[in-house]
Amino acid sequence: MTGALARLVFLAIGSTLRRMQVVTSVAAMQRLAKKWRRAGTKIGLVPTMGYLHAGHLSLVQRARKLVGKKGKVAVSIYVNPTQFGPKEDLSRYPRDLKRDLKLLREEGADVVFVPSNEEMYSGTGVSPVRSKSKNRTGETPVPLSYSTYVVEENLSRLMEGASRPGHFRGVATVVAKLFNIAQPDVAVFGAKDFQQAAVIKRMTRDLNFPITIDIAPTCREPDGLAMSSRNKYLEGDLRRQGSVLWRGIQRAQALVKKSPVSAKKLRAELKKLIESEPAPKLDYVEFFDPETLLPVNKVRRGTHMALAVFVGKARLIDNARL
Ligand code: AMP
């Protein structure tokens, strides 16, 4: 084989089997992003908490389309502790990094950023400040050198924000950090987390991040259950019962198709439907304007609906335009 031909074959293989980098330090990720940006290469970021499913992979495919073959697709895998409440599932959140990396390699991601908590929230530890509620060493355990958070004060208030106090503060903070670390031109999020997408769009606009936010449609299982890493918690018959969120959405869509319905009536009807299964317990169901997220009294076509339901150990969320 001539040198030129060998180079061609190498390039051809290289373009189909891109080498995927795994980066664990903030500094290394920033160096890589800076290098790409200096070369004029577009960067697409897909933030995730891992335990990937087809919904996540659809975001990666979208990022690739948006940055093109010559662009770089970065995926972050980080279970962000600051967005979990003290009684939530942080410690048992499903993880399988080896499998995630395999899937992302097959999907053609260029870099996977997998930081540790120390790397993201450096210096979280014990403060030397003395107080009345001392521990055995006489120190109060508070974050030592991590003390900056991003708070969106309007769209975060209802629904997930009301049920999970502090959740969106954690989300906005980690996403702002990931934006500064991976320096993307475009970042892709899922419509599955509708309120999160709205908060991130607002934060990006308000804080002038020079980043385009792209929202991808929700990927569902054949019975309508929205794909989610937390579906792993649905053991036995709970998996079937999990599709009740989608059945509720479909019922609402069918009802408002005919004529506007009062939110109060619709909420009561959906609660009955959802709780007619043995396990599901409704946390909330809201009907709101998709731009302002403000609740409406009359639900009509074009109104948005979001709901959260406990099914066994899982808390599932879903949403759709009615
Ligand atoms: P997570 O790992 O759950 O934090 O999700 C990472 C990203 O994937 C978020 O932008 C989610 O909205 C998105 N996502 C999660 N589930 C789905 C799904 N079923 N379809 C499309 N996107 C999703």
Convert the pLDDT of each residue in 86-129 to its tens digit: 999 999 999 999 999 999 999 999 999 999 999 999 865 544 44
- For residue 190, list its beta bridge partners: 216
Nearest atom of ligand 1 to the alpha carbon of 226: 19
DSSP state at residue 166: T
By mean pLDDT, which of 142-146, 178-182, 229-233, 237-241 is the weakest? 142-146
Active site residue 53: no
Instruction: Tell me how far the alpha carbon of residue 274 lies from the centroid of ligand 1, in angstroms.
Output: 23
Above pLDDT 90, what percent of the chain?
87
How remote is the CA of residue 56 from the centroid of ligand 1, in Å? 5
Q: How far is the CA of 186 from the centre of ligand 1 (A)?
A: 16
Q: Does 214 score more than 70 pLDDT?
A: yes
| pLDDT for position 124 | 57
The alpha helices in the chain, defined as continuous H runs, are: 3-16, 26-38, 54-67, 97-107, 117-120, 160-163, 167-182, 194-206, 238-241, 244-258, 263-274
In the chain, what is the straight-line distance between the N-terminal and C-terminal CA atoms, in Å? 62
pLDDT tens-digit map of 246-305? 999 999 999 999 999 999 999 999 999 999 999 999 999 999 999 999 999 999 999 999
Q: Locate the ligand 1 atom nearest the alpha carbon of residue 190 and give its number.
A: 12
- The overall average pLDDT reported for the chain is 91
pLDDT value at residue 186:
98
46 within 8 A of 76, measured Cβ to Cβ: yes
pLDDT at 133 over 50: no
pLDDT grade for 145, boundaries at 50, 70 and 90: confident
Per-residue model confidence (pLDDT) at position 17 = 55
Mean pLDDT of 60-71: 98
pLDDT over 70 at 7, yes or no: no
Residue nearest to atom 11 of ligand 1 (CA): 190
Which residues line the pocket of ligand 1, CB cutoff 6 A?
A: 48-49, 55-56, 58-59, 189-190, 192-193, 216, 218-219, 226-229
